[in-house]
Amino acid sequence: MLKSIIINFLGIFNSRILGFIRDLLSAYILGANIYSDIFFVAFKFPNLFRRIFAEGAFEQSFLPSFAKSTYKPVFAFKVFIFMFAIILILSLIVTIFSHQITNILAYGFNSYEKKLAAPLVAINFWYLDLIFIVAFLASLLRYKKHFATSAFSTALLNISFIGALLLAMNKPKEEIIFYMSIGVIIGGIAQVIVHLIASKKYGILKLLYIGAKSKKNADITIFKKHFLPSVLGNSTAQISAFIDTWLATFLSAGSISYLYYANRLFQLPFALFAIATSTVLFPHITKAIELKKYKEAEEKMKKAFWFLFYFLILAFIFAVINSKEIVKLLFQRGAFSYKDTIETSYVLIMYMIGLIPFGLNKLFSSYLYATHKHLKSAKFSAISLIVNIIFSIILIYPLKVLGLALATSLGGIVLFYLTLKEYGFNNFLKLFEKKYVFIFIGVIILSIVISITFKYIFHLL
């Protein structure tokens, strides 16, 4: 399992490095203004669904049902057709009613800004169709214990983004954000192609072909029953970020961009450690529980927990101490000013408060899904979301954009508490062995020393 986590980690790390190059170019060319705000609103809508499909909800409702199904080829094919038809219809609706939907997504924009954003919303949303194909094939590849393709292919979106930015560098900002939207679609197509190649190699395309030709029937009712709870249970952070973006349209220009850049920095440790670990853990514990090997599942949980906890602690301390220096090093050039750096660094600190609870919740919620507690997880996420919305409304006036990020973190703390309570506090305490506790203390001390050292180095630069 550790080997798979490392492969997943390296793939995500590679993608995130390219993502930061993309964001660096975006900050340099566009800065933090109304044009960057318009693009981020247009991209946030399909990106919300991408996070839901590609990073949990689909796989966590599909794989347990797939593992139990008698006619796996038929089951997989029927699920694909059912889901793709829904997404295709949704994409057509967004395209036809893009102006009306943009009025809702960017309610605080003026009429010119909404008019500029509407076609971009329609273009970007088609990325969802492409990424569902990727998520579906990736789930089956992971079931066969192949993680590399999915982990490394995410870099293709960033490469496409970078190419679009370089081509449009000297053009008017209205054209630049159009080029970026086309880059999103090209990146999605590239991801589909590499997954089709891997699926052919691992026999998945053959499995789907057999399912399409077979006259046998497979019941997908269990999948349907679990999918919607999985969507809500797995997407609290993404829905929170989406709500933040919507509320930020009522604040001063640049606020959406501050949220975007800070959230991108937050997503680096979250993706590298929490998503990489839980993605690998989930199919392992699903199979172990299905075979009634509960001791094996608990042992895998213990190893994954400590691996994740150490790195989240280190990332939290490092990011909070060096927030301004990190933003300055990555983004402060071209159209991205010192004021933008300060604002983004403060937002980053507010987001980082939720890193450990959101990260650990990703791990423990995987166990809930593996034991078919989808509705419980959905209930916890709904409560967390309500808490987030209440605090967003309370904090937006005194703290402005900082209040939105802090409200997201507070919602994450509530979510983690509820998930841990369901997992069982006694079961949680079993994870703490003496040798791990001593190592944990050492990691905290080491993290603080490393963070202060890097802060000093940044200061010299």
Give the H or E element holding residue 167.
helix 155-168
Give the residue from 145, 51, 72, 64 showing the smallest Cα distance to 369: 64
Q: Where are the alpha helices (DSSP H) in 69-126?
A: 72-96, 98-105, 111-125
> Would you tell me how many other CB atoms lie within 10 Å of the CB of residue 145?
14
Spell out the long-range contacts of 284-288 with Cβ–Cβ below 8 A and sequence spacing 24 or more. 284/1, 285/366, 285/367, 285/370, 286/63, 286/64, 286/67, 286/370, 287/67
Nearest-angstrom CA–CA distance, 62 and 404: 33
How distant is the alpha carbon of residue 116 from its chain centre?
27
- C-alpha span between 319 and 455 (Å, rounded): 10
CB atoms within 10 A of CB 160: 22
Residue 237 is predicted with a pLDDT of: 65
State how far the Cα of 57 lies from the Cα of 272, in Å rounded to an integer: 18
Q: Radius of gyration over alpha carbons of the chain, in Å?
A: 22
pLDDT of 234: 63
Dist CA 310 CA 443 (whole Å) = 7
The pLDDT of residue 152: 82
Consecutive H or E run containing 7: helix 2-29
> Tens digit of pLDDT per residue, the chain (461 long)?
656 667 766 777 777 788 778 888 888 887 777 788 888 888 877 776 666 655 566 777 787 778 778 888 898 999 899 989 988 998 999 999 988 888 887 777 888 888 888 999 899 899 989 989 998 998 899 888 887 888 788 889 889 989 998 998 888 888 888 999 999 999 999 999 999 999 999 999 999 999 888 878 777 887 877 777 776 666 666 677 777 778 887 888 788 888 888 988 998 888 778 877 877 777 778 777 777 787 887 888 888 888 888 889 888 988 988 889 889 888 888 778 888 899 999 999 999 999 999 999 988 888 887 787 878 888 898 899 899 999 999 999 888 889 999 999 999 999 999 999 998 888 887 777 666 666 666 666 666 666 666 555 555 44
Residue among 136, 107, 105, 108 at smallest CA distance from 121: 105
pLDDT at 455: 59
Q: What is the pLDDT of residue 185?
A: 94
- Collapsing DSSP to helix, strand or coil, 208 comes out as helix
Rounded to an integer, what is the distance from CA 219 to the centroid of its chain? 30
Question: How far, in Å, CA of 434 to CA of 307, rounded?
Answer: 16
- Could you give the CA distance from residue 186 to residue 324 in angstroms, rounded to a whole number? 34
Contacts of 113 (CB under 8 A, 6+ apart): 34, 38, 106
Assess contact for 114 and 106: CB atoms under 8 A.
yes
pTM over 0.85: no
- For residue 353, what are the CA distances in angstroms to 44, 317, 350, 456? 22, 10, 6, 23
| Cα of 419 vs its chain's centroid, Å | 19
Q: How far apart are CA 356 and CA 270, in angstroms?
A: 9
Tell me the C-alpha distance between 104 and 303, whole Å: 44
